[in-house]
Structure 1
Amino acid sequence: MAQLTNIKSNDPNIGISGNIVMTLMKDYLDKGRILYTDNWYTSPALYSLLHAHKTNACGTVKKKSGKNMPKFTEKLQRGEMTFQSSKECLCIKWYYKREIHMLTTNHSYGMTATGKQDRKIKQDILKPDSVLDYNKNMGAVDRSDMLLSSIESVRKIKKWYRKLCFHLLDLCVLN
């Protein structure tokens, strides 16, 4: 527990998860790298700090993610995108099958054809560049979570050790 206390005291503006990212990235800062994060670690304050250290970042963000996140009130049609930006960060809301919110310091607001066609309207599917890059570079954790969601043995259990047991069983089935 002492380690988390030390991490938290580094920079209170980015929170515990942001301080964990900065601790893990300390050897890679100021080298022009790109970091891809999931929604647990994505925040405008963290991304601004990373950008100040010449490290770009891209990641998904929760729809109702706390302070400094822009509010998107528009209802989008399938395939549409809206965005808001600051000096360093670009926040994107894109709707295809569901709403996707992305935060990035590395991309513009452009969209690229995926080479696939929508079955209903027979047009090319366009995706934001940040979504395409994120999907291409996402880690094994996101990929395994995605694959597990299709075979997960859903159980309503209150005991944490039983949930862990069923999760490990699901991982064994996946492998």
Structure 2
Amino acid sequence: MKTDKQLQRGDYYYRVSDDGLLFCKWMDNKAVTIASNYHGTAPTSVKRTQKDGTREQEACPEVVRDYNMHMGGVDMADMMCGSYGLSRKSKKWWHILFFGLIDRTLVNAYIVYRQICENKTH
């Protein structure tokens, strides 16, 4: 892979393994490194806000555009786990993992419950 100093904002560099795994480095304000087994190497663009507040189109790989479009769901789940989570401080690694899984399970159950209730009212 190219070093961060070799890339300017909007540049990207990628490699594809023999198994079809894409490794991509895209330079935004900092270097963003992503791996994907779903996306190809087709170029696309995203709108980025500049320091002065204007928005400009910047070249990027497909994987970055798709991540930006769908990251809201992960952020929402993290927010719900943080607000109502069961996580407790512990020195045992499996306690942290166990309570994290319980948190995710409860958030997913709540989302399914809301979808079922919404379908019954319509």
Report the TM range for the smaller structure's normalisation: 0.3 to 0.5
For the pair shown, the structure with the greater C-alpha radius of gyration is: 2
Decide which structure has greater helix share: 2
What TM-score does the superposition give when structure 2 sets the normalisation length?
0.47
